[in-house]
Amino acid sequence: MQARKKITINDIKAKKGKEKIVAITAYDALMSAIFDEEVDIILVGDSLKMSFGGESETLGATMEEMLYHAKAVCKGASRAFIIADMPFGSYATKEMALQNALRFYKESAVDSIKVEVGLDKVDIVRALCDEGIAVMAHIGLMPQYARFEGGFKVKGKNESQAKLLVDTACAMQEAGAFGILCEGIQASVAENITRELDIPTIGIGAGSCCDGQILVWSDVFGFFDKFQPKFVRRYCNGKEILKQAIKEYAKDVKEVRFPNIQESY
């Protein structure tokens, strides 16, 4: 079978208003290889600190960790457009943002980086885009602000929040961002943002009107079951499937049914 063509930033932008964009997170080559044919975007999210590292927030992610996982994801995928999260603190100033984003470009094959932003970050996003770095701007519920805001807060619940979100999205488009990730935003507000912009919006907990949807892989496959946010849909019970398999393996080893003759040298 012939490999399908690599998805570029132009393909992602061209889908706006024509075809929904499918995105999922991945943190390693095994998963990205499985997802590659089916999705448009793979995000190496700093959510890996929670769903992979067992932490309760994303703030501890480091550049070295994100680069390690970005490289692994790129090794597994040849078609999907790959975005890496800039970790908390890595884009606090223009200089830091440029230095760290350039590391993603030089040390891995990611197609883009993602930053969590408010209006205060417009100049940083502009500086990155001016340097030739493709930027996805993440607005709304921003996990990197969880300590500052006292938790994971859904946004757009009142008029001033809704206006600020639309203004921020428009400012990011003007600064050069190629897409907006809308997390935890009232569906009607995400719909307005999507309508206002020429660039695509990718939603998570932001209703069905965004140009695309993203979910964290361990949520999609039922591996993370400490709690289930309202916006998550589980497509299988991965935890139970693996539990059953590990039980069978342990039983076979204990009862000397593994390895058998064919599995031995």
Q: Pinpoint the alpha helices (H) of 87-221.
A: 94-107, 122-130, 146-149, 159-175, 187-196, 217-220
Is 46 assigned a ligand-binding role in the annotation?
A: yes
Is 114 assigned a ligand-binding role in the annotation?
A: yes
Task: Write down the catalytic residue from 174, 183, 191, 248.
Answer: 183
36/116 with CB nearer ligand KIV: 116
In whole angstroms, the minimum distance from the beta carbon of 25 to ligand KIV comes to 4
In whole angstroms, the minimum distance from the beta carbon of 257 to ligand KIV comes to 40
Residue 24's nearest CA partner among 213, 224, 236, 208 is 213
Reply yes or no on whether 19 is catalytic: no
Asked if 61 and 48 count as a contact pair (C-beta separation under 8 A), the reply is yes
In whole angstroms, the minimum distance from the beta carbon of 58 to ligand KIV comes to 6
User: Which residue lies nearest ligand KIV, judged by its C-beta?
Assistant: 45
Is 47 assigned a ligand-binding role in the annotation?
A: yes
Q: Is 48 helix (H, G, I), strand (E, B) or coil?
A: helix
In one letter, which amino acid is 90?
S
Q: Point out which residues bind ligand KIV (CB under 6 A).
A: 25, 43, 45-47, 85, 138, 181, 183, 204, 214, 216
Residue 198 class from Cβ within 10 Å (0-12 exposed, 13-18 middle, 19+ buried)?
exposed
CA 23 to chain centre: 8
182/189 with CB nearer ligand KIV: 182
| Known binding residues | 46-47, 85, 114, 116
Catalytic residues: 183
